[in-house]
Structure 1
Amino acid sequence: MEYLKKTREWVRNFVIALNLCPFAAVPFRKDQIRIVLEESRDPEELADTLLRELDHLLRTDPKAVETTLIVHPNVLTDFLDYNDFLGVAEDILEEAGLNGILQLASFHPDYQFAGTPHDDPANYTNRSPFPMLHLLREESISKAVDNFPDPDRIPEVNVERLRTMTIAQIRQCWTKQEQ
Structure 2
Amino acid sequence: MRSVRLVVAASAHGLLYRSSRRVASRVYSHSDAACPVKSTRKWIRDVVVGLNLCPWAGAPLQHGDLRIVESTTTDALECARREFDAVVATENATVAIAISDACAFEDYLDLVDAVDDAIDSAGHRGAIQLATFHPAYQFGDAPEDAASHWTNRSPFPVLHLLREADVERALESKDGHDVWRRNVAAVEALGAENMERRVRDCLT
Please give the range of the TM-score, normalised by the shorter of the 2 chains.
0.7 to 0.9
**Cα distance change of structure 1 residues 171 and 142 upon mapping to structure 2, 3 Å threshold:** same
Cα deviation for residue 123 of structure 1 reads: 0.5
Q: How does 1:12-161 map to 2 (within 5 A)?
A: 12-38=45-71, 40-42=72-74, 45-59=75-89, 61-62=90-91, 66-74=93-101, 77-148=103-174, 151=177, 153-161=178-186
In structure 2, distance between residues paired with 1:53 and 1:26: 20
Q: Which amino acid aligns with 2:67?
A: R
Secondary structure of the structure 1 residue equivalent to 2:190 = coil
Secondary structure of the structure 2 residue equivalent to 1:111 = coil
**Structure 1: which 5+ runs fail to align?**
none
Q: How does 1:158-177 map to 2 (within 5 A)?
A: 158-174=183-199, 175=201
TM-score by length of 2: 0.76
In structure 2, distance between residues paired with 1:46 and 1:150: 29
**Cα distance change of structure 1 residues 117 and 177 upon mapping to structure 2, 3 Å threshold:** closer
TM-score by length of 1: 0.86
In structure 2, distance between residues paired with 1:114 and 1:177: 27
Secondary structure of the structure 2 residue equivalent to 1:56 = helix
Cα deviation for residue 58 of structure 1 reads: 3.0
Q: CA RMSD in A?
A: 2.0
**Structure 2: which 5+ runs fail to align?**
1-33
Higher RCO, 1 or 2 (CA under 8 Å, sep at least 6)? 2
Count of aligned positions: 170
| Contact 2:133–2:153, Cα closer than 8 Å, also in 1 | yes
Task: List per-residue Cα deviations over 1:17-41 (Å, max 9, x = no partner).
Answer: 1111122111111111110001x34
Cα deviation for residue 150 of structure 1 reads: 6.3
